[in-house]
Structure 1
Amino acid sequence: MLFFGVLFISCIWIMPVCGALESTVEQEHVSVKEGQTAVLLCTVKELGTRMVVWRKVGSDFPLTIGQYVYVGDVRFAVSANGPDWDLMINNVKNSDAGKYTCEKSAKTPSIVKIVTLEVTQQAALESTVEQEHISVKEGQTAVLPCSMKELGTRTVGWRKVGTDFPLTVGQFVYVADERLAVSANGPDWDLIIKSAKNSDAGKYTCEISAKTPSMVKIVTLEVTEVTQQADLNITGTKFVPQYGNINLTCKTGGGHTAPTHVDWFFNGQKIRSSNSFWNGRLSIISWQELHTRSYTSNLEISNSRMDDAGIYVCRSSDLNIGSIKVQVLRIKSTPVATTSIPAATTQLNGNSDKPNQGNTENENANDTLSSENISEEMMRATQLEFYREQILTDRKRRQMMDTEKEFYEAMIRFLQQREEEDKK
């Protein structure tokens, strides 16, 4: 390694010798703009078993030895093709400016060429080239347009400012990102970025390859975040028989955060348990699930009435709304006859075994006797008969109601099935 530093040390301490040296070797001046790729050319003939070394004047160590990059900077590379050993510097920075030497390795290294690299600042560059601003939403496809005239045999390259390597060279995608592509159509060389992400935002340069790459256009890509809209779904009983229970469930979620609450409305009015209309028939149970960022609320109305039919609306804290129409089906029932026991009256033929004798008015008067003239056993028998009739009447009414309830439940199932078939 000692011989690599011989010339450098001598050039520091013996400045007149270096000055004489520079006048005897080939020199070149290369000017690139900040963020572009600098190509420092060097042709070495009759190299034999020796190696080509690139060095930046003023540094302690060589940059490259053969094709091996000696410094820990991924922006540097050597393109070796026959006698050509060109030094490539990607994404050039201001600190890269200076003099570079191309040398043959030997006991006394010989300088083949000196290249002076000039780096133009990006601010000055942007004022001289065409610029465009593109804005897309996250997930959309971004098209960065660039039109090249008189391209000839040169190629078009796309680069993102601030990265070490080009994105594309011609139609070849240089980076391992299948979202990127180049659409080449005549003079148009547009960069396509599918499913744009926030990390894709930034400045992109469209360049023509050459010894000194020339920038044609700067495109600033803006990627805006899409506000994720939460979903809201309301399900439950659309048809319910009178005196049955209305059961509705509202579930909302899918947004960036879970909703904090939901409100229920009936025919445009907010449902409150304190409202006498519900008369203790209302139950609302709600819960939040943070891991799924969702919120669920269950509304139950027991012993439904005909005026419970209408539109029920669920509204989440992030103002998503869902609605459902509930119909209450009337159940017809036979009213129970309210039979009262007469003042314990009954028809008897008197207390004698003999038929009554006398006028008709007396006989009619004896047909209806007060409870005072009826024995306790007769009174009990009369009451038992009354209760038996009541039980029979109630049983008939319940049987009728059960039959009608089964009918209406069957009707509800039929309507729900038809509704599902219509959706299909």
Structure 2
Amino acid sequence: MGLSSIWTVLILSILLEHTLDTFTQDVDGDPGGDLNDLGVTFPSPEEIKPVEFVTANSTIITSQTGSKALLPCVISNIGDGMVSWIRRKDYHLLTVGVVTYSSDARFQVIHSQHSEDWTLQIKYVQTRDAGLYECQVSSHPPTSIFIQLIVVEAKAEISGPTEKYLKPGSGLRLQCTISQSTEPPLFVFWYHNNRMINYDADKGINVTTELPTKTSLLTINSAATRHSGNYSCVPSNAQPASTYVHILN
């Protein structure tokens, strides 16, 4: 702050103090007069409620890469306070009120008028988004809570060895399970040598997928040499898994 700015602040402070003194003298000089006579009322200390966070401090949120993370921050008695979200690892100001200050458009506050909810939404979560986030209210003094975001990378796993050996006519059973996933996939596709085979029942291949349990099962009742090759389980929201099947002559 330059010298001229300092003087400006001092002058304004003096003028404000003088105005308040004059106003007080005018009110006190009126016999029986007080601020209530002027229609000015102030809440009693009992009526002023402190800012209260409904969301628990140190809440942990787990989200998987590519999904949408929702970091809760519910506040009551906010009054005229302003809510800000700050990424603590680099003290980057993300949002103030409902305005996003970050150049990363994935960050957005979800808030409706008169609501106490100031949830921070992060779209298309990446591993670098993991860490501590601060939800702060500009009260006097400022008060805040911290939310920990854990980011996991979901992956598919096919049970058994990565290479399987079968005799012609044997049954083939491949079970794929999605681990470290915070939500079920929209779909699970199976590929044989880069060709999608979910609907190849006429070729003796059957696929059964249970999305809520994040599992998918591929079965072939009687394997033939044409069934040799690489099989891949590819969920919509997880890293794929592969296994190689050898049908021996």
Determine which structure has the larger helix proportion and give its number: 1
The one of the two structures with greater contact order (alpha-carbon pairs below 8 A, sep at least 6) is: 2
Query: TM-score band, normalised by the shorter chain?
Result: 0.3 to 0.5
> TM-score w.r.t. structure 2 length?
0.46
Structure whose CA Rg is larger: 1
